[in-house]
């Protein structure tokens, strides 16, 4: 149960996030081709992943149009595209770093054209499985990990990787969507307060949208 001070801080956080999102100047539409390798995914997991990534970004004026269902989103002008691979690759038990690598991508200098994004299904699942059952119930309202929970976690990893490219930023931030690592609890929680952009990132997003629009604009004819 939240005590009054906690309720006040929670309300203040929500208002702050809504205020920043309301200032978003960007209107970016991107296409994403989502593929799974290793074994067939649950359709529920796939839809949950798509929904989560889309909802995280739509509050900032970024719309994701999925190539498998082009009728879901009407984009007046597409500003970029991604090739997303979700791979089942059981961990060997050896990691090159202390933090698990849930996803990766690379930055592009100008147009976002078929940029590759890799999401590690097994590392993500392993992380959310580390949440104790009691805490899991508090975070989700049910005791066992289901396909929706897995998809929600994968969608958050995907949203982070999209952020690197759309924002044109290789560095991580101390808080929010673009922080270096996600806790298991953050990956499974129903609320998205841990997956927001700062005011500076929102400003950067607006600048990036203008850069992409200018890059796509046809060149003026020579006189």
Q: Report the DSSP pairing between strands 62-66 and 78-87.
A: unpaired
Q: Which backbone phi and psi does 113 adopt, to 5 degrees?
A: -125, 105
Predicted local confidence at residue 141, as pLDDT: 95
The domain limits of the chain are 24-89+99-213
pLDDT digits (tens, 9 = 90+) for 110-150: 789 999 999 999 999 999 999 999 999 999 999 999 999 99
The bridge status of strand 112-120 relative to strand 103-105 is antiparallel
Q: How far apart are CA 60 and CA 97, in angstroms?
A: 32
Q: Can you read off the two tokens belonging to residue 203?
A: 């400003």
Q: What percent of the chain has pLDDT over 70?
A: 78
Burial (0-12, 13-18, 19+ Cβ within 10 Å), 46 = buried
Answer whether residue 176 shows pLDDT above 80. yes
- 9-43 pLDDT, tens digit each: 434 444 444 444 444 446 889 999 999 998 888 99
SS3 for 17-38 is HHHHHHCCCCCEEEEEEEEEEC
In words, the CATH class of domain 24-89+99-213 is alpha beta
116: three-class secondary structure by DSSP: strand
Q: What is the 3-state secondary structure (H, E, C) of 5-18?
A: HHHHHHHHHHHHHH
């Amino acid at each position: 149960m939240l005590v009054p001070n906690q309720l006040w801080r929670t309300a203040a956080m929500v208002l702050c996030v809504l205020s920043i999102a309301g200032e978003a100047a960007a209107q970016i539409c991107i296409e994403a081709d989502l593929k799974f390798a290793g074994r067939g995914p649950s359709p529920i997991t796939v839809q949950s992943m798509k929904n989560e990534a889309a909802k995280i970004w739509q509050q900032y004026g970024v719309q994701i149009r999925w190539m498998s269902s082009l009728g879901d989103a009407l984009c007046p002008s597409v500003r970029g595209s991604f090739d997303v691979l979700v791979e089942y690759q059981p961990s060997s038990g050896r990691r090159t770093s202390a933090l698990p690598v849930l996803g990766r991508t690379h930055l592009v200098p100008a147009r976002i054209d078929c940029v590759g994004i890799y999401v590690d299904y097994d590392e993500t699942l392993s992380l959310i499985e580390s949440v104790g059952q009691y805490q899991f119930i508090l975070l989700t309202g049910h005791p066992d990990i289901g396909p929706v929970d897995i998809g929600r976690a994968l969608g958050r990893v995907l949203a982070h990787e999209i952020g690197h490219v759309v924002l044109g930023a290789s560095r991580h931030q101390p808080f929010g969507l673009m922080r270096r690592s996600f806790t298991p609890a953050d990956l499974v929680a129903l609320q998205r307060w841990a997956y927001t952009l700062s005011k500076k990132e929102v400003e950067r997003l607006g600048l990036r949208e203008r850069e992409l629009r200018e890059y796509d604009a046809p060149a003026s004819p020579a006189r």
